Amino acid sequence: MTTFPKSVCVYCGSRDGGNPAYAAAATQTGQMLAAHGWRLIYGAGDVGLMGRVAKAVQAAGGKTFGVIPTHLMEKEVGKRDLDSFVITETMHERKKVMFMNADAVVVMPGGAGSLDEFFEALTWRQLGLHAKPIILLNIDGFWDPLKSLLDHVVASGFADASLLSFVITANDVATLETALRDALA
């Protein structure tokens, strides 16, 4: 079995979103991961930001590990030309396989699925089930409302202030790269 120095799980949209900066950041993120020899772990789709990150990693000679449930093979166009391609029965299995194989989590702009994945990783961190870094790639302030919500949750007494320390915010790919280098050292 091949081992990799580090693996980074990227949660992101299966669409490109309405801001071209999101697609550009997806490509830059993939290039950056490959440049450091970090393996991409992601949802195995060939569409949206997911597909852009994977294609950029592959074009730059990096390694990819994709995980997709059977019911999304058609909708997300399962990308079968990955270094590792796992098909699961359920979304729960998909998330578990992705997370358990990762050393760090990056959350790019995305929809309900990305939010679900983020909150699961954050909840597990809050419960002490892992110590993996969780980094929001906050392109053009996309995650600002989420950050405000987390502040509100803490201010309202529903979480300890330590919750905020579990989330790193990177406003661009250069800052993401530095955060990952620091976290994975």
Structural domain range at position 126: 7-184
Give SS3 for 169.
strand
Token pair 């580090």 in the structure block, residue: 6
Q: Is the pLDDT of residue 182 over 60?
A: yes
Query: What is the reported pLDDT for 18?
Result: 97
Q: Is the pLDDT of residue 2 over 90?
A: no
168 found inside a domain = yes
176 found inside a domain = yes
Q: Is the pLDDT of residue 3 over 90?
A: no
When divided into structural domains, the chain yields a total of 1
| pLDDT tens profile 51-75 | 999 999 999 999 999 999 888 877 7
1 found inside a domain = no
Torsion sign (Cα): 112, 120, 64, 177: positive
Q: How far is CA 91 from CA 39, 65, 84, 117, 165, in A?
A: 21, 16, 18, 10, 28
| Cβ(70)–Cβ(89) below 8 Å | yes
| pLDDT tens profile 96-120 | 999 999 999 999 999 999 999 999 9
CATH number at residue 151: 3.40.50.450
2 found inside a domain = no
Q: Any alpha helices (H) in the chain, and if so which ranges?
A: 20-36, 48-59, 91-100, 112-126, 144-155, 162-165, 173-184
